[in-house]
Amino acid sequence: MKNKKHLVKGIVINIQAIVILGFALNSFIPTLINFVSYKLYGTEKNVAIITLILWGIAIFASLVEMHVGNALINNYFSESTNNNVTPSVHEWKCPKCGKIHSNYIAICDCGEHKPNKQ
């Protein structure tokens, strides 16, 4: 059973990242052009540098956020319910949906808790 929350969450995260990236680029590019084209002195130059740094961080965060959204979408389309797969020593298999998880994950995406080893 595929978890549609992955797909929806991935799409929402990507839309949010694209909107933020649009705003960031819309502010970053003119500020960069002003910084390079005009002679700025004192406070104007400091404000432009700080603004460029902050918008650069926003652009980087948006790209990371898009990567996370894409990972969630890919996870939705690559989820397997193949019950023939055996988890390795450092993994566990969800008894409800059959997804394989690393041992440090306590709850499956479907909501099932990691079974206790007997």
Answer for the pair 27, 69: CB distance below 8 angstroms, yes or no. Answer: no
pLDDT at 101: 86
pTM of the model: 0.60
Answer for the pair 75, 105: CB distance below 8 angstroms, yes or no. Answer: no
CA distance linking residue 18 with residue 16, whole number of Å: 5
Q: What is the pLDDT of residues 38-71, one digit of tens each?
A: 888 888 889 989 999 999 999 999 999 999 998 8
Q: Which residue in 76, 81, 58 sits closest to 10, CA to CA?
A: 76
What is the residue whose two structure tokens read 């549609």?
Answer: 4
Answer for the pair 75, 27: CB distance below 8 angstroms, yes or no. Answer: no
Q: Average pLDDT of the chain?
A: 85
Annotated domain spans of the chain = 4-79, 82-118
